[in-house]
């Protein structure tokens, strides 16, 4: 059992859990993920590690309520314990001194780019971060990402905070005006795709963190197949980081949508249970 020591609602739909998992905390590195599983009926849910504390033995994860599983998870609170929590999985993000690194994050992935920005900074890079959200109310951790960034650009799609527009616009400007050694982009698949397309014109190597559907997360099942440079790779063991210029984005997007009907069924069933007065956990 893995106790939730702290829960924060970063936005109404984006939540943070700090979880007691000493064995995972001892090994966690930037860019890796965990899988959690709760309840006999639960799914195995992969989440990128947002932070860790080796001494306290804790792992921080941030997730957004999307389907039934993440809604159930969001109904848990500090003091509750999660049945299963395994990791760290996947390969860590390559960290070297590239000179200037641009860290691009969108949506709830703003949390997961923080340890990468921190590691890049510690490796001697100049870190310029771009964080994008749909609207002002969904902006969080500007201060935390700012702490490890030499410059920080905040965008909102609707212009309600920071710069109006998508993350790709400031990315393009940076690539036009600076000598950028590497781009790291994490967020919704479409955001990563367009960040990679933007940087491709400049030939700047761009690392993306892919989030296909997974089951076991240890290389056993092959659910998370992605095509990179024409080769099939498993995101759970060969990634999750890949060269964004080589990823077959349309395939990834298609595979992520494979269970949309079932996800809808699950959400309806979950909502029905909640409205029926049953517990929503």
Partner 1 sequence: MSATSTNVREVDTVAKQGLNLNRVPMPKQDPMKRAKNFGEVSLGYTPAEAIAEADRCLQCAKPTCKDGCPVNVSIPEFIKALRENDMPEAVRALKAKNSLPAVCGRVCPQEQQCEKSCVLARKGAPVAIGRLERYVADWDLANQGAVEAEPVVVVPGRKRVAVVGGGPAGLTCAADLAKMGYGVTMFEALHTAGGVLKYGIPEFRLPKSIVQSEVDYVTSLGVELVLDNVVGRTELVDELFEEGFSAVFLSPGAGAPMFLGIPGENLNNVYSANEFLTRVNLMKAYRFPEYDTPVKVGRRVAVFGGGNVAMDSSRCALRLGAEEVYIVYRRSEAELPAREEERENAKEEGVIFKLLTNPKGFLDDGHGNVRAVECYEMELGEPDEGGRRRPIVKPGTEFEIEIDTAIIALGTRPNPVIPSTTPGLNMTRHGTVETDVATGRTSRDGIWCGGDMATGAATVISAMGAGKRAAADMDRYLREL
Site string for partner 1, 210-239 (x = CB under 8 A): -----xx-xxxxxx-x-x----x-x--x--
Strands (E), 165-273: 182-186, 206-209, 225-228, 231-234, 241-243
HSE (side-chain half, CA atoms, 13 Å) at 173 = 8
Kindly state whether residue 273 participates in binding partner 1, applying the rule CB under 8 A: no
Joined tokens for residue 142: 């500007």
Q: Position of tokens 């510690």?
A: 122
By CB under 8 A, the count of residues binding partner 1 is: 42
Position 19 contacts partner 1 (CB under 8 A) = no
The tokens for 71 are 């809604």
Interaction between residue 84 and partner 1 (CB under 8 A)? yes
Which of 17, 52, 85, 141 is close enough to bind partner 1 by CB under 8 A?
A: 85
Q: Which residue has the tokens 């109904």?
A: 75
For tokens 């616009």, name the residue. Answer: 169
Which segment (21-29, 108-116, 128-136, 201-209) binds partner 1 by CB under 8 A? 21-29
* Position 27 contacts partner 1 (CB under 8 A): yes
Helix axes 168-177, 189-200, angle to 10 degrees: 20
Give the separation between CA 83 and CA 249, rounded to whole angstroms: 34
For partner 1, give the closer residue by CB, 40 or 143. Answer: 40
Query: Contact with partner 1 (CB under 8 A): which of 42, 146, 188, 281?
Result: 42
Determine the Cα–Cα distance for residues 100 and 198; give it in Å rounded to an integer: 17
Site string for partner 1, 186-215 (x = CB under 8 A): -----------------------------x
> What residues have CB less than 8 Å from 185, skipping those under 6 apart?
104, 105, 191, 192, 195, 196, 206, 207, 208, 209, 244
110 is a site residue for partner 1 (CB under 8 A): no
Which C-beta is closer to partner 1: that of 74 or that of 145? 74
CB of 215 to partner 1, least distance (A): 5
- State the sign of the Cα–Cα–Cα–Cα dihedral 233, 238, 240, 245: negative
Q: Which two tokens stand for residue 110?
A: 């703003």
Q: Is 24 in the site for partner 1 (CB under 8 A)?
A: yes
Using the rule CB under 8 A, is 29 a contact of partner 1?
no
Of 97 and 265, CB closest to partner 1:
265
Question: Contact residues for partner 1 (CB under 8 A)?
Answer: 23-24, 27, 37, 40-44, 68-69, 83-89, 215-216, 218-223, 225, 227, 232, 234, 237, 251, 254-255, 257-259, 262-263, 265-266, 269
């Amino acid at each position: 059992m893995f106790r939730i020591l702290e829960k924060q609602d970063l936005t109404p739909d984006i939540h943070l859990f700090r979880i007691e998992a000493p064995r995972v905390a001892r090994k966690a590195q930037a860019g890796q993920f965990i899988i959690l599983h709760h309840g006999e009926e639960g799914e195995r849910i992969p989440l990128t590690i947002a932070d860790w504390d080796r001494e306290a033995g804790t792992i921080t994860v941030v997730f957004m309520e999307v389907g039934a599983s993440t809604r159930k998870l969001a109904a848990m609170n500090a003091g509750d314990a999660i049945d299963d929590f395994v990791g760290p999985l996947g390969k860590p993000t390559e960290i070297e001194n590239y000179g200037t690194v641009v860290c691009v994050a969108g949506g709830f992935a703003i949390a997961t780019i923080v340890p990468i920005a921190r590691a890049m900074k510690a490796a001697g890079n100049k870190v310029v971060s771009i964080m994008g959200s749909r609207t002002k109310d969904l902006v969080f951790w500007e201060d935390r990402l700012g702490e490890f960034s030499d410059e920080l650009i905040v965008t909102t799609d609707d212009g309600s905070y920071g710069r109006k527009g998508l993350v790709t616009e400031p990315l393009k400007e940076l690539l036009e005006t600076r000598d950028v050694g590497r781009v790291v982009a994490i967020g919704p698949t479409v955001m990563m795709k367009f960040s990679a397309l933007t940087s491709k014109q400049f030939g700047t190597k761009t690392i993306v963190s892919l989030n296909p559907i997974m089951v076991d997360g240890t290389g056993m099942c092959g659910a998370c197949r992605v095509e990179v440079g024409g080769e099939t790779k498993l995101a759970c063991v060969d990634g999750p980081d890949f060269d964004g210029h080589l990823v077959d984005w349309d395939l990834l997007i298609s595979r992520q949508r494979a269970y949309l009907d079932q996800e809808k069924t699950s959400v309806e069933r979950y909502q029905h249970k909640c409205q029926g007065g049953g517990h929503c956990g």
